Every structure is written in structure tokens, then in C-alpha cells.
């Protein structure tokens, strides 16, 4: 597994890594930085911070459009999205949930077409169609009273009609605005058929993370084993033997042995795709380390890697300097390489301190000088 090293530019990092976390605002920037050849802040970083779409010379990047078509092809609006009008009607916000949903969605699209990017708060303040709240699942941890507007925006996003636009704040802070998909990309992606969408996503997963098991793909994709097996068959995946006697899958052009790379060090951010890419993590993570590196919901924090395995975590001190916290002795060569990565990341962050909503136990217990 080669987690560190240039792939050919920041956009290629994003596309080949296949899925970046959207909740932890700084994660995408950090993921690209630790894999860039020189960690340069550069135009790509400034462009993302300014909210520019992934485009070159004014033309939408074809790979991004394809990614969106794949994702839309996997969406199933008659399932989870169908709950929005039902919730509206069930909680007495409106007698006719379906009619209200059509009106609310239409109002959002019309306002964004007229004004350009707006935050959820701004849309709610400007559109009476989005007013109201519902109280649900009070017997659950995730229950409570919620504004109905975010559910409408989520539905429109899943349908590919709107997308998160410029971030209204520093790149490390999550303050997204919403804009029309067509305005953001310059075109409206057409969704693939669901079975084609699943096949393409699985193909891309195998390209990035293979070999992997059916359980790995099912967990990552959030689908059924039947959908995964059908997708594996559709892409012509080849069965291979894994350590421990498990059966894994690779793309048909990826069956040749891969030479072992030179020992490498990396400091990866919270919810990094490499850390979160597989359900079965024994080949790079000691099970005894899991409680120290993941929270109780399974969210992985910052991690330190040496030669293909997680060996600790990293934090920042009061001055923003990056420090590595090891779980065990890794030897002088590994410590020196990890310290060099810490210096590189400190220089790239240039005093910016990253707040972390998914700090793991090792990060919280860090004793810094």
C-alpha cells in the first residue's frame, strides 16, 4: 500500500483517492497537502479556499463531471429522499407534504439562479417556503428538533440539482454555501443507471484501494452484498488470495505483483481515505490501537504512518507546530522520518491550527512540551 507520494497534481489526488470527507472542513486540504510532492500551498490551495470549482481554463473538469454522474446514478430518491414530504406532513408542518416539497425545492432553485451562492441560513431567511421545524426521535441520541430547510437542501443535492459552493470562511472552517450544479460546473451531469453507477464506483474503489474483500466494499459503499457482487462481476474483477486466507478482488489489469516500496513516513489527517478505506484493517492497524486512534463511532483521527502501518497520531502545540505521538518504539530511522514529515506539515500549515471534531484518545492524551 503506497499512501504517500505524488500522483500528478492536486486534482488527480482528489479523483484517485475517490472520496474525501465533507464534514471535517480542513480534511480535503490536508489530504492533498500530505500527498503533494513539496507540500506547496500554491494556487490549488488558494483556489479551493476561494471557492473556485475544479476547472481548467474555464472548462469543467471532465473527471469531476463523471464522478457526479456516477454518484447520481447510485442515488435512490424514492427511498430516503421520499421521507422528506412524509416528515413534513406527519409533524403538522404542512398538510400536503409532497406539494410543499415541490414548492420549497422550486423556490430554492429560483433564488439560487437569481442570486448565486447562498448559505442555508440565508436561504431560510429569504424563503418562507423553508420555514418550520420538526421534532423527531426524542428517544434516540440523534433525536431532537430540526429545521426542515437542511433536509430540502440535502434532497436537492442528492438529486444533483444543487451543490456546495464557495466556503464562507477560512478553509479550515466549515461554512458552506449552496449553488446550482449547472452554475458550478457549467453543465448539468446526467446520472447513470443505478447498476452502472454501482459498477463504476466499485471499479474506482478497486483502482484506489484494491485488493479488497466484498465486506470491505460493502462497508465503504453502504450497499448490499448483492449489489457489490453484481458490480464486481460487471467490471470483470479478479479473485485473489489475501493474507489470512481471505478472498480479495482486484481489477483484471492489476494482478501482477507490486514491488515493495522503500520505507516511507506520512502524517495523515482525520478521516483520511487511506485510514478509512477498508473495513478489515488488520494489515495496517494493530487491533489493540483502535481505541486510541478511533472514536466510539468509528471516526479515525490524525494518524502517523511508518512503512505501511499506523504507529501513532499527531497533534499541534500552542504555536501550531506539529508533534508526533507514538504508540510504541519504532526505531531511530522511523522517528527521524516522522519528525521530518512533522516539520514539513508545520511549514505548510504556516501557523494555522486545525480544530478537530474527531480527536482520538491518543490525540487527547498527548503531553506536549
Q: Measured between alpha carbons, how far is residue 278 from residues 27, 38, 50, 116, 185 in Å?
A: 18, 28, 32, 38, 31
Judgement on whether residues 278 and 233 belong to the same structural domain of the protein: no
User: Residue 207's domain spans which residues?
Assistant: 10-73+191-250
* Residue 325 bridge partners (DSSP): 313
Judgement on whether residues 61 and 100 belong to the same structural domain of the protein: no
The residue out of 206, 222, 250 marking a domain boundary is 250
Q: Give the tens place of pLDDT for each residue, 120-167.
A: 999 999 999 998 887 888 888 878 888 888 889 999 988 889 998 888
Judgement on whether residues 300 and 356 belong to the same structural domain of the protein: yes
- In this structure, what are the phi and psi dihedrals at residue 331, rounded to the nearest 5 degrees? 95, 160
> 318 in helix, strand or coil?
coil
Residue 2 lies in a domain: no
Residue 223 lies in a domain: yes
Residue 305 lies in a domain: yes
Q: Do residues 205 and 221 touch, judged by C-beta distance below 8 A?
A: yes
Looking at the structure of the chain, the number of domains it has is: 3
Judgement on whether residues 290 and 338 belong to the same structural domain of the protein: yes
Q: Give the tens place of pLDDT for each residue, 304-360.
A: 999 999 999 999 999 999 999 999 999 999 999 999 999 999 999 999 998 887 888
Question: pTM for this one?
Answer: 0.76
The rounded distance, in Å, linking the Cα atoms of 142 and 136 is 9
The residue out of 135, 159, 183 marking a domain boundary is 159
**Considering only CA atoms, which of 294, 291, 326 is closest in space to residue 309?**
326
Judgement on whether residues 58 and 20 belong to the same structural domain of the protein: yes
* Residue 305 bridge partners (DSSP): 266, 310
pLDDT tens by residue, the chain, 369 residues: 333 333 333 334 444 444 544 554 455 555 555 555 554 444 444 444 444 444 333 333 334 445 555 555 554 444 444 455 445 444 445 566 688 889 999 999 999 999 999 999 999 999 999 988 878 888 888 788 888 888 899 999 888 899 988 888 777 777 889 999 999 888 888 888 889 989 999 999 999 999 999 999 999 988 899 999 999 999 999 999 998 889 999 999 999 988 989 999 999 999 999 999 999 999 999 999 999 999 888 999 999 999 999 999 999 999 999 999 999 999 999 999 999 999 999 999 999 998 887 888 888 876 544
Judgement on whether residues 105 and 196 belong to the same structural domain of the protein: no
Judgement on whether residues 311 and 294 belong to the same structural domain of the protein: yes
Residue 69 lies in a domain: yes
Judgement on whether residues 92 and 222 belong to the same structural domain of the protein: no
Judgement on whether residues 81 and 61 belong to the same structural domain of the protein: no
Judgement on whether residues 359 and 269 belong to the same structural domain of the protein: yes
Judgement on whether residues 58 and 100 belong to the same structural domain of the protein: no
Amino acid at each position: 500500500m503506497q499512501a504517500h507520494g505524488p500522483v500528478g497534481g492536486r486534482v488527480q489526488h482528489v479523483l484517485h483517492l475517490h472520496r474525501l470527507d465533507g464534514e471535517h472542513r480542513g480534511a480535503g486540504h490536508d489530504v492533498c497537502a500530505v500527498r503533494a510532492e513539496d507540500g506547496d500551498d500554491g494556487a490549488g490551495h488558494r483556489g479551493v479556499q476561494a471557492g473556485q470549482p475544479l476547472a481548467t481554463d474555464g472548462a469543467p473538469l471532465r473527471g469531476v463531471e463523471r464522478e457526479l454522474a456516477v454518484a447520481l446514478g447510485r442515488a435512490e430518491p424514492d427511498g430516503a429522499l421520499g421521507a422528506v414530504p412524509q416528515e413534513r406532513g406527519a409533524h403538522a408542518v404542512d398538510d400536503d407534504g409532497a406539494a410543499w416539497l415541490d414548492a420549497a425545492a422550486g423556490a430554492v432553485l429560483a433564488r439560487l439562479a437569481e442570486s448565486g451562492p447562498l448559505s442555508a441560513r440565508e436561504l431560510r431567511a429569504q424563503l418562507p417556503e423553508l420555514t418550520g421545524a420538526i421534532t423527531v426521535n426524542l428517544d434516540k441520541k440523534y433525536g431532537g428538533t430540526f429545521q426542515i430547510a437542511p433536509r430540502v437542501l440535502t434532497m436537492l443535492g442528492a438529486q444533483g440539482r444543487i451543490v456546495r459552493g464557495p466556503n464562507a470562511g477560512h478553509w479550515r472552517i466549515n461554512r458552506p454555501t449552496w449553488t446550482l450544479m449547472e452554475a458550478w460546473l457549467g453543465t448539468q451531469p446526467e446520472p447513470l443507471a443505478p447498476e452502472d453507477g454501482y459498477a463504476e464506483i466499485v471499479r474506482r474503489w478497486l483502482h484506489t484501494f484494491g485488493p479488497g474483500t466484498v465486506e470491505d466494499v460493502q462497508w465503504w459503499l453502504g450497499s448490499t452484498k448483492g449489489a457489490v457482487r453484481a458490480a464486481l462481476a460487471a467490471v470483470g474483477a479478479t479473485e485473489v488470495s489475501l493474507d489470512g486466507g481471505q478472498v480479495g478482488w482486484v481489477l483484471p489489469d492489476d494482478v501482477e505483483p507490486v514491488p515493495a516500496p522503500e520505507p516511507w513516513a506520512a502524517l495523515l489527517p482525520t478521516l483520511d481515505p487511506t485510514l478509512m478505506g477498508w473495513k478489515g484493517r488488520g494489515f495496517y492497524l494493530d487491533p489493540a490501537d483502535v481505541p486510541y486512534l478511533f472514536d466510539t463511532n468509528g471516526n479515525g483521527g490524525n494518524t502517523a504512518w511508518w512503512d505501511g502501518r499506523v504507529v501513532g497520531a499527531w497533534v499541534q502545540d500552542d504555536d501550531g507546530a506539529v508533534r508526533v505521538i507514538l504508540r510504541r518504539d519504532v526505531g531511530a530511522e522511523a522517528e527521524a522520518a516522522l519528525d521530518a514529515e512533522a516539520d514539513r506539515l508545520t511549514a505548510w500549515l504556516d501557523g494555522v491550527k486545525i480544530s478537530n471534531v474527531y480527536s482520538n484518545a491518543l490525540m487527547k492524551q498527548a503531553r506536549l512540551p
